[in-house]
Amino acid sequence: MADGDWSICNTWSAAIGTANPAISSLLQANGLEGYSSWPDDPSTEALRSEWLKLMDPAAQRRMAAEIQEKTLTNLNSISVGQFYLHTAYRRTLNGVINSPISFLLECREALTMSNPYDPRQSDYPRDMVGYGRTPPDPKWPGGAAIAVQIVVNYEEGGENNLLHGDPGSEYFLTEHITTPALGRRHLTAESLWEYGSRAGFWRLWRELSTRKIPVTCYGVTMALGRNPEAVAAMNEAGWEIATHGLRWNVAAPEDPLQERQQIEQTLALHEAICGAPARGWYNRSSAQTYRILSEIGGMLYFADNYADDLPFWADVAGKPELFVPYTLDVNDMRFATNNGFAAADQFYTYLRDTFDTLYREGLEGQPKMMSLGLHGRLSGRPGRSAGLVRFLDHILSREKVWLASRAEIARHWRTHHPPAAMLRTRW
């Protein structure tokens, strides 16, 4: 092709088009056995073989169109003309080639037609497509238009603290902006966290348990161990207690053996403290973390993900694992971040608008899931809890709302939406 201004490609005859992939040279994808720059694609050849077995004309047409699209997608060169006479000439050839068949002339490189980022062609391990424009029907129980899942994070007592062997006191997600206190205790920061376990937790527990709303607790193991009464109250209310890791906001060991030991210790302590094993994992996770957890087994779901409004499956070292996404925007943590919530009415408005949007989409035929994240030291404060109470009453006044724990959602998804043969997200 690069030798002259144009080249020759045999298409069998002038009368044969691409509607018949069995004998069309244009639709052959046999690499070195085919024409110059033609794609080497065994999957296309397999489709052509399947086409020969089809007896239904409509099915043949559909598969022929699929083969055409696949061939043009993979094609490395494209013809800009066709020449049909008994003779055809080329500058680098001596004499005349007599042929009563059609030729493609001047095949040029078609690099501008290829897309190296196309997920159908690449091995990119992130899924940027997801469910697309037509998400699956989650088939929520009772034909619900939305599943609402509320998380109470229990972290107080497991944060950074000099007493825990850390360099200093925690300063992230506290009630006021403070700088790290290295080498000494920061009693103000400590007391702000203590409010969550001593008072804030109980306010959230009362508002949720009196309304008999299912709840998932993300429990930091060290924190749970310091307040058995809170754990007993969670069990009394029937809350799911998922694991939030051994510590809060403390990086896991980089060495895989050390991280595995820490995870095994976390899970064993969690079961001893809570009376039941954790079935969900939410912590600052790496691909290594997921692989270790997948090898250990026993998890219904992972939650350290924010990629969708519905659960989804991912490939973790060749094994399908379920992810039930969480939220960082429908979350009272925004009371402690820049440009976050400043008052209960802002909190309520954002929760309500999120619910109403997803609820409307569900009534229109695309049900979703809404997650809400709470913390005793944040929304457990009296002025903020007022916004939460208004939101709870708002959703309880609506029909076709499924209030569920994350474990219930995970079990439902596993039953109604098993993993596909090929998963785009891979770790």
pLDDT in tens, 191-250: 999 999 999 999 999 999 999 999 999 999 999 999 999 999 999 999 999 999 999 888
Compute the residue count for the chain: 427
* pLDDT at 53 exceeding the cut of 60: yes
Could you tell me the residue ranges of all domains in the chain?
Answer: 8-113, 141-416
Cα diameter, the chain: 97
Which range, 56-60, 228-232, 417-421, has the best average confidence (pLDDT)? 228-232
Burial state string for 304-321 with b = 16 or more CB within 10 A and e = fewer than 16: bbeebbbbbbbbbeeeeb
Q: From start to end of 65-169, where are the E strands?
A: 77-83, 87-88, 97-98, 103-109, 146-154, 168-169
Residue 121 pLDDT class (50, 70, 90 cuts): confident
Tell me the C-alpha distance between 131 and 265, whole Å.
Answer: 37
133-168 tens-digit pLDDT: 999 999 999 999 999 999 999 999 999 888 998 888
pLDDT: which is higher, 103 or 63 = 63
**CA distances from residue 261 to 115, 144, 267, 289, 406 in whole angstroms, order as listed:** 44, 41, 10, 11, 26
pLDDT digits (tens, 9 = 90+) for 279-322: 999 998 899 999 999 999 999 999 999 999 999 999 999 999 99
The residue with greater pLDDT, 322 or 86, is 322
The H or E element spanning position 68 is helix 57-74
Contact 194, 218 (CB under 8 A): no
pLDDT for res 88: 41
Sign of CA dihedral 153, 173, 384, 340: negative
State how far the Cα of 143 lies from the Cα of 105, in Å rounded to an integer: 59
pLDDT surpassing 50 at residue 105: no
Residue 184, pLDDT > 90, answer: no
Mean pLDDT computed over 386-412:
98
The DSSP call for residue 156 is T
d(CA 223, CA 238): 19
Q: What pLDDT is attached to residue 255? A: 94
The predicted pLDDT at position 25 comes to: 63
| Contact between 404 and 369 (Cβ < 8 Å) | no
Other C-beta atoms lying within 10 Å of the C-beta of residue 421: 5
The radius of gyration of the chain's CA atoms, rounded to the nearest angstrom, is 30
Is residue 365 pLDDT above 90, yes or no? yes
pLDDT at residue 23, rounded to an integer: 65
User: What per-residue confidence (pLDDT) applies to 107?
Assistant: 46
Angle (nearest 5°) at CA 364 between 362 and 370 = 15
Q: What mean pLDDT comes out for the span 337-347?
A: 93
What pLDDT, on the 0 to 100 scale, is given for residue 166? 85
CA distance 366 to 138: 8
Residue 192, amino acid: L
Mean pLDDT of 41-53: 81
Reading the block at residue 18, the tokens are 């691409």
Q: Higher confidence at residue 328 or residue 49?
A: 328
Q: Report helix, strand and coil shares of the chain as percent, to nearest 5.
A: 40, 15, 45
CA distance 196 to 417: 38
Q: Hey, what amino acid is at 392?
A: L
For strand 103-109 and strand 8-10, is the pairing parallel, antiparallel, or unpaired? antiparallel
Residue 34 neighbours by CB distance under 10 Å = 15
- What is each CA distance from 78 to 45, 67, 87, in whole angstroms? 19, 16, 22
**Can you tell me the mean pLDDT for 118-122?**
85
Of 98-107, 228-237, 269-278, 383-392, the range with the lowest mean pLDDT is 98-107
Distance CA 68, CA 19 (A): 8
CA 156 vs. chain centroid, Å, equals 29
Q: What is the DSSP letter of 285?
A: -
Q: Identify the pLDDT of residue 38.
A: 56
Contacting residues for 177 by C-beta, under 8 A, at least 6 apart: none
pLDDT at 62: 84
pLDDT > 90? residue 80:
no
The single-letter DSSP state of residue 198 is I
The type of residue at 8 is: I
- Looking at residue 123, its pLDDT comes to 86
For the entire predicted model, the pTM comes to 0.74
Please provide the average confidence, as pLDDT, over all residues in the chain.
Answer: 85
What are the helix (H) ranges across 75-217?
187-195, 201-210
State residue 177's pLDDT score.
64
Give percent of the chain with pLDDT exceeding 90.
60
Burial of 140 (0-12, 13-18, 19+ CB in 10 A): buried
CATH 3.20.20.370 for domain 141-416, yes or no, is: yes
Stronger pLDDT, 75 or 259, i.e. the higher one? 259
- Of 66, 76, 8, 88, the C-alpha closest to 39 is 76
